[in-house]
A and B are shown apart, each in its own frame.
Chain A
Amino acid sequence: MSSPIRVLIAKVGLDGHDRGVKVVARILRDAGMDVIYTGLHRSSEDVVNAAIQEDVDVIGVSMLSGAHMTHFPRILNLLKEKDAADIIVIGGGVIPDADAATLKNMGVADLFLQDTPPDTIVNSVRTLVEARGKR
């Protein structure tokens, strides 16, 4: 029996806007995935700890606050420190193109900016998890 893809959806730092992230959670749920939402105002540490306990395949971080160049690198580093770099990190929100390119170089697997169609997100998650393989 194959199990559903597990995704942790998170809002990090001082960012109170979660309408978009709830829509994304719903899209992934409707694609048959197990989605864990951790709520507003989490720290990078909270997110990584939760991701490890939940043994998720993917962490999806929504950032609308402009603090993306702080939080994404921190999450990636914490995952490495905790021997959990096999957890895929993706993100979305308001992120300038130049920053998006930098973040992808750092190891963020994919970023979804405004006007991304739902199918694109679902397909990306599936492709990334498949490419990583069984662990």
Chain B
Amino acid sequence: MIPSLDLIPGVLAGRQRDVARLITRAEAGDDECRPAMTALYQHTGKAHIIGITGVPGSGKSTLVKALATAARQMGRRIGIVAIDPSSPFSGGAIMGDRIRMNDLSGDPGVFIRSMATRGSLGGLCRAALDAVDVLDAAGYDLIIIETVGVGQDEVEVVRASHTTLVVSAPGLGDDIQAIKAGILEIADIHVVSKCDKPDAQRTIGDLKTMLMLDMPRDPNWMPPVVGTSAESGKGIDELLKTIQTHHNYLHQSGRIQDRLRMIAESRILKTAEELVRRRFVRHQAGHFIAQVAQRQLSPYQAAQQLLGE
């Protein structure tokens, strides 16, 4: 086994095998790779990180492909982390995001990595953010995180990315209302996919109306609504331009600092959470579990003892 620290020169040179291997180790959370990830962190922070979320079937993977293809033509190097759910019972996962991204395969300027949620709290696993670090250090300058379908998870993506895209598909009017409280609020840019469909203009209209009533997260950035059709290619260049406009806005206004701090905070918490979780497993928490189940300890007392408080 090659020590993780020895993979770093390869990662920095963009060697795909080394990039892939380090992501695997970081995902597993092996202690062995921690010094390497720490060393690598100094080489990150150059990429523009885009989070893409939306309901299942809204066309996220297809949009990612179209965006990546267009951005490649502008000479960007694209990293993609595509997340799919793990089975809560077996822990296994079937990941199919690559099916819609196959045209990108073989282009050395595109690196696609599929990742399972592994039942992590918040869905956007710590490992996804570690993967983003590895890709960033390897010189991929536009990194796209594609989340699993809708749920509590999607709000997490906002604490991982500089620019968040929320994808809505036409013909889901009721669903839009239903998810309004959570997911629509986090968008920096709204995308209405499948704009070749007749309902699309109505969905765009609904979103714009809703946005007029909403208090934007940032009073100086009114989230634009962009209609796209991955099939005809309509709107993809406009979306790419809008993403760049948002990037420029963040840097010119200084708001990027808020985002970076928010991401940093979220990552510290997620990592701490995982460390505690592992300590729980290592401590053979069996006797705590039995005592709490039999009402001899409260959950709070057990947690305190576990943390050595």
Q: Is the CB of A37 within 8 A of B94?
A: yes
B interface SS class? mixed
Q: Is the CB of B1 within 8 A of A134?
A: yes
Closest-CB distance, B26 to chain A (whole angstroms): 10
Q: Is the CB of B98 within 8 A of A55?
A: no
Q: Contacts A30-B92, A34-B92: A55 and B102 contacting too (C-beta < 8 A)?
A: no
Chain A, residues 37-54, CB within 8 Å of chain B (1/0): the string is 111001001100110111
Q: Confirm or deny: A26 has a beta carbon within 8 angstroms of a beta carbon on chain B.
A: yes
Q: Is the CB of B93 within 8 A of A35?
A: yes
Q: Is the CB of A34 within 8 A of B102?
A: no
* Nearest A-chain residue to B127, judged by Cβ: A3
Q: How far is the CA of A26 from the CA of B100 in the complex (A)?
A: 19
Closest-CB distance, A7 to chain B (whole angstroms): 10
Closest-CB distance, A113 to chain B (whole angstroms): 23
Q: Is the CB of A36 within 8 A of B98?
A: yes
Q: Confirm or deny: A28 has a beta carbon within 8 angstroms of a beta carbon on chain B.
A: yes
A interface SS class? mixed
Count class of interface residues, chain B = 20 to 34
Chain A, residues 61-91, CB within 8 Å of chain B (1/0): the string is 0000000000000000000001110000000
Q: Contacts A46-B105, A52-B16: A32 and B278 contacting too (C-beta < 8 A)?
A: no
Q: Is the CB of B113 within 8 A of A35?
A: no
- Interface residues in B1-52 (C-beta closer than 8 Å to A): 1-2, 16-17, 19-21, 23-24, 27-30
Q: Is the CB of A1 within 8 A of B90?
A: no
Q: How far is the CA of A31 from the CA of B113 in the complex (A)?
A: 22
Max chain B C-beta neighbours (<10 A), residue from A25, A36, A50: A36
* Nearest B-chain residue to A28, judged by Cβ: B92
Which residues of A are found within 8 Å of B30, using beta-carbon distances? 1
Q: Is the CB of B92 within 8 A of A38?
A: no
Which of A26, A30, A53 makes the CB contact (< 8 A) with B16?
Answer: A53
Count class of interface residues, chain A = 20 to 34
Q: Is the CB of B17 within 8 A of A135?
A: no
Q: Is the CB of B112 within 8 A of A50?
A: yes
Q: Confirm or deny: B111 has a beta carbon within 8 angstroms of a beta carbon on chain A.
A: yes
Which of B19, B90, B114 makes the CB contact (< 8 A) with A31?
Answer: B90
Chain B, residues 110-138, CB within 8 Å of chain A (1/0): the string is 01111010000000000000000000000
Q: Is the CB of B95 within 8 A of A55?
A: no
Q: Is the CB of A4 within 8 A of B278?
A: no
Which residues of B are found within 8 Å of A29, using beta-carbon distances? 87, 90, 92-94
Q: How far is the CA of A39 from the CA of B62 in the complex (A)?
A: 14
Which of A2, A26, A39, A52 makes the CB contact (< 8 A) with B28?
Answer: A2
Q: Is the CB of B98 within 8 A of A39?
A: yes
Which of B20, B93, B96 makes the CB contact (< 8 A) with A53?
Answer: B20
Sampled A-B contacts (23; CB under 8 Å): A1-B278, A2-B28, A4-B91, A4-B92, A4-B116, A6-B24, A32-B90, A33-B92, A35-B93, A35-B94, A39-B102, A42-B105, A46-B102, A49-B106, A50-B98, A53-B20, A53-B112, A53-B113, A54-B113, A55-B24, A82-B17, A84-B17, A134-B1
- On B, residues with C-beta under 8 Å from A are 1-2, 16-17, 19-21, 23-24, 27-30, 87, 90-96, 98-100, 102, 105-106, 111-114, 116, 278
- On A, residues with C-beta under 8 Å from B are 1-4, 6, 25-26, 28-39, 42, 45-46, 49-50, 52-55, 82-84, 134-135
